[in-house]
Amino acid sequence: MNDTTSSRGASSTPTTSRLDRFVSLGSIPLFTYGTLLFPEVLRALIGRVPQNRIASVEGWRVSALKNRTYPGLVAAPGVIAHGRLLTGLSADEWCLLDNFEDHRYELRQMTLLGGQNSLAYVWVDDAETRSNTWDVQNFALNHLSAYVERCTARHGHRRTSV
């Protein structure tokens, strides 16, 4: 979707094929750099905030995207992208997150600073990237609340037990 107020994952086509290349997802952490940095978004999508820590990857930047409130990770030699590493995701949580991500993201293996391997959703539509870095503070102040509401309405985790 190109509307800046829309959340990702509007496609009704399941995107689990991105996960097929990675057999044991439970042991591979996810490098996050955008909306998944926010505990409120994670709770809306998977019902919890997984264990996480600060992480960075060299050769990438967190790009603002045209007509979107969320960013994309794009190749940028000499640049370091900062984010968080989510660990302990279950196979079901991986599927929920994968179905949430726009079809213009590709799941790729990354080597983080420090040498740890992870996966990350990389933006693959160069025509939609901007030259500026995504402004996480602007997102938090101006878009987070509405974004969480849309995530809950569209993709919200529905607990079956109390």
pTM beyond 0.85: no
Distance CA 140, CA 146 (A): 10
**Token pair for residue 44?**
């809306």
Higher pLDDT, 2 or 129: 129
Check whether 1 has a pLDDT greater than 70. no
Quickly tell me which residue has 């987070």 as its tokens.
Answer: 144
The CATH number of domain 28-153 is 3.30.930.10: no
* Structural contact between residues 109 and 119, judged by C-beta atoms closer than 8 angstroms: yes
Distance CA 18, CA 11 (A): 14
pLDDT tens digits along 120-157: 999 999 999 999 999 999 999 999 999 999 999 887 65
Quickly tell me which residue has 């955008």 as its tokens.
Answer: 34
Quickly tell me which residue has 């997802």 as its tokens.
Answer: 25
* Structural contact between residues 102 and 157, judged by C-beta atoms closer than 8 angstroms: no
Distance CA 55, CA 137 (A): 18
SS3 category, 113: coil
The conformation of residue 53, written as its DSSP 8-state character, comes to E
Arithmetic mean of pLDDT over the chain: 85
**What percentage of the chain exceeds 90 in pLDDT?**
68
